[in-house]
């Protein structure tokens, strides 16, 4: 049976990780622009100042996508490139860049999928309280309206926000990401609520301003995912329950970010130690947060493995000694692309896209001038086999976006993790399609028939 004929095969990126041009043509500062310039935050003192310089290499990168037969490109808009202070003044040169990117994608038969926010919060809004300031929800809606007014005559597919677990949790709780804060629980839950409210207001803005019928999604991280070690009913149910349990760290989980959006309510937190810190919410807020969306974007790299314990609780099974892992130390668990979509569709009844999946590796140029990354091919083959299984069982996965097109700036690890199908030489910005990129082209050309 295989993948449906209209299955979308794409690649993904984010503005700060690929664009560079951090202070060109009127762009304002983001929290990442300031964070990376403070010592001690990023490995090797790397920055995204230049990254892959996609800002200056649009034509080349789109030509590479066309050569690889890529059908869709998921990219994000830099909020401070469009609105340097985050609100008010619009930078036309910033919008012009995304105009060019959109037009050139379409000229090459590549469908744009736009993410409005992928972590690069305008620094000026951070100084006003950032996600703790409720006004940010209106600022975000106004920003969304600005972008949609400019691009929606050509762009149909929109994603409001990417991985709030990172820009709220890792950025404001653990302090590992920009702006590097460690807030108390009360402030953290308030910021999380504002993030969800901003999502809902952005959905409203897209629906009201778009110049064509829009398809709107939301892409939290799919980390909080358990897969059963057997297909016994009790093991499946235990892992399903664990996947959506609020847990002791709900900001990093799944249900905290998707239950309000898809079910109109926060998950049950009865008895958890943080319950007293959760802000009161109004019915009006929840109505906005739960504005109907068309799909859920799943960013999936790994899964925990579990089985049923006493009273149906889930027991997490530790990884075997010497387990397969990526360069980022993430376990290689292909079943994530079967059980993840299965559990999500059963709970939320939404169409799904795999909006991120891929392998971090230590790739280099061989003596023959090529990049031979057999491990990435094997990784992708294993994961796509499990996704194919899900699709063949009728789970409504609409497309797959590989993370990422080119090697890029990987946040706190700098340039130490290479995720790309295309090798980037960060000294001279030369690109080389890796063996995995050539293999992915075969996947696309056969619509996944080579996945067996």
Structural domains present in the chain: 8-445 (3.20.20.80)
Q: Is there a binding annotation on residue 23?
A: no
Furthest CA-CA distance within the chain: 63
Averaged pLDDT of the chain? 98
What's the whole-model pTM score? 0.98
Please report the pLDDT score of residue 287 as a whole number: 98
Please report the pLDDT score of residue 373 as a whole number: 98
- In residues, how long is the chain? 452
Is residue 82 predicted with pLDDT exceeding 90?
yes
- In sequence order, what are the beta bridge partners of 112? 73
Instruction: Please give the positions annotated as active site.
Output: 163, 356
- In sequence order, what are the beta bridge partners of 325? 331
Separation between Cα atoms, residue 422 and residue 65, nearest integer Å: 10
Q: List the one residue out of 217, 112, 82, 107 whose CA is nearest residue 161.
A: 217
% of the chain surpassing 70 pLDDT: 100
Separation between Cα atoms, residue 348 and residue 259, nearest integer Å: 8
Is residue 34 predicted with pLDDT exceeding 90?
yes
In sequence order, which residues have a C-beta less than 8 Å from that of residue 92 and are 6 or more positions away?
A: none
Please report the pLDDT score of residue 397 as a whole number: 98
Q: Is there a binding annotation on residue 403?
A: yes
Are the beta carbons of 222 and 340 closer than 8 angstroms?
A: yes
Burial call 181-211: b when 16+ CB within 10 Å, e when fewer: bebeeebbbbbbbbbbbbbbbbbebbeebbe
Is residue 52 predicted with pLDDT exceeding 90?
yes
Are the beta carbons of 112 and 105 closer than 8 angstroms?
A: yes
Q: In whole angstroms, how far apart are CA 161 and each of 117, 121, 202, 257, 438?
A: 5, 11, 9, 11, 30
Q: Is there a binding annotation on residue 410?
A: yes
Is residue 111 predicted with pLDDT exceeding 90?
yes
The string of pLDDT tens digits covering residues 313-341 is 999 999 999 999 999 999 999 999 999 99
Q: Is there a binding annotation on residue 386?
A: no
In sequence order, which residues have a C-beta less than 8 Å from that of residue 72 and are 6 or more positions away?
A: 8, 9, 10, 11, 110, 111, 112, 113, 157, 399, 401
Q: What's the chain's Rg over C-alpha atoms?
A: 21
The string of pLDDT tens digits covering residues 194-240 is 999 999 999 999 999 999 999 999 999 999 999 999 999 999 999 99
DSSP state of 259: I
Separation between Cα atoms, residue 250 and residue 271, nearest integer Å: 13
DSSP state of 38: S
Which of 142-151, 152-161, 269-278, 359-368 is predicted least confidently? 269-278
Is residue 162 predicted with pLDDT exceeding 90?
yes
Q: Is there a binding annotation on residue 118?
A: yes
Distance between first and last Cα of the chain: 12
Separation between Cα atoms, residue 310 and residue 331, nearest integer Å: 27
Separation between Cα atoms, residue 437 and residue 420, nearest integer Å: 8
Q: Which residue has the tokens 């939290």?
A: 220
Q: Is there a binding annotation on residue 302?
A: no
Q: What is the mean pLDDT of residues 407-427?
A: 98
The string of pLDDT tens digits covering residues 376-386 is 999 999 999 99
Separation between Cα atoms, residue 424 and residue 407, nearest integer Å: 5
Please report the pLDDT score of residue 1 as a whole number: 83
Q: What is the mean pLDDT of residues 380-393?
A: 98
Q: Is the dihedral of CA 312, 313, 319, 325 positive or negative?
A: positive
Q: How many helical (H) and strand (E) elements, i.e. helices and strands, does the chain have?
A: 16, 13
% of the chain surpassing 90 pLDDT: 98
């Amino acid at each position: 049976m295989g993948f449906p004929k209209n299955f979308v095969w794409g690649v993904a990126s984010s503005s700060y990780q690929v664009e560079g041009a951090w202070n060109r043509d009127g762009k304002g500062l983001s929290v990442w622009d300031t964070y990376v310039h403070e010592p001690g935050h990023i490995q090797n003192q790397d920055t995204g100042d230049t990254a892959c310089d996609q800002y200056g290499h649009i034509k080349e990168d789109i030509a590479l996508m066309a050569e690889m037969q890529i059908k869709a490109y998921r990219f994000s808009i830099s909020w401070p490139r469009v609105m340097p202070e985050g609100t008010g003044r619009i930078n036309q040169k910033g919008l012009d860049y995304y105009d060019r990117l959109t037009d050139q994608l379409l000229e090459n038969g590549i469908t744009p999928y736009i993410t409005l926010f992928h972590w690069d919060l305008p620094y000026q809004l951070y100084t006003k309280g950032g996600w703790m300031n409720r006004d940010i929800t209106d600022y975000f809606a106004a920003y969304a309206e600005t972008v949609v007014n400019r691009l929606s005559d050509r762009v149909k597919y929109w994603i409001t926000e990417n991985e709030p677990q990172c820009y709220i949790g890792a950025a404001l709780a653990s302090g590992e990401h920009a702006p590097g804060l460690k807030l108390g629980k009360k402030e953290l839950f308030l910021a999380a609520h504002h993030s969800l409210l901003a999502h809902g207001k952005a959905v409203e803005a897209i629906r009201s301003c778009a110049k064509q019928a829009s398809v709107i999604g939301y892409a939290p991280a799919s980390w909080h995912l358990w897969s059963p070690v057997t297909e016994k009913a009790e093991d499946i149910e235990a892992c399903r329950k664990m996947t959506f349990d609020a847990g002791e760290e709900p900001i990093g989980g799944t249900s905290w970010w998707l239950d309000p959006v898809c079910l109109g309510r926060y998950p049950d937190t009865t008895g958890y130690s943080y319950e007293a810190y959760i802000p009161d919410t109004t019915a009006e807020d929840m109505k906005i947060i739960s504005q109907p969306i068309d799909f859920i974007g799943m960013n999936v790299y790994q899964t925990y493995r579990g089985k049923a314990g006493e009273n149906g609780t889930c027991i997490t099974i530790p990884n075997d000694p010497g387990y397969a892992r990526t360069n980022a130390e993430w376990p290689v668990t292909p079943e994530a692309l079967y059980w993840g979509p299965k559990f999500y569709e059963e709970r939320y009844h939404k169409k799904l896209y795999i909006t991120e999946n891929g392998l971090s590796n230590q790739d280099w140029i061989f003596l023959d001038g090529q990049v031979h990354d057999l491990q990435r091919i094997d990784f992708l083959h294993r994961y796509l086999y499990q996704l194919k299984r899900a699709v063949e069982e009728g789970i409504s996965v609409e497309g797959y976006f590989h993370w990422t097109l080119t090697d890029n700036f990987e946040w706190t690890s700098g340039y130490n993790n290479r995720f790309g199908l295309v090798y980037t030489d960060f000294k001279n910005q030369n690109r080389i399609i890796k063996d995995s990129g050539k293999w992915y082209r075969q996947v696309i050309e056969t619509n996944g028939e080579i996945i067996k």
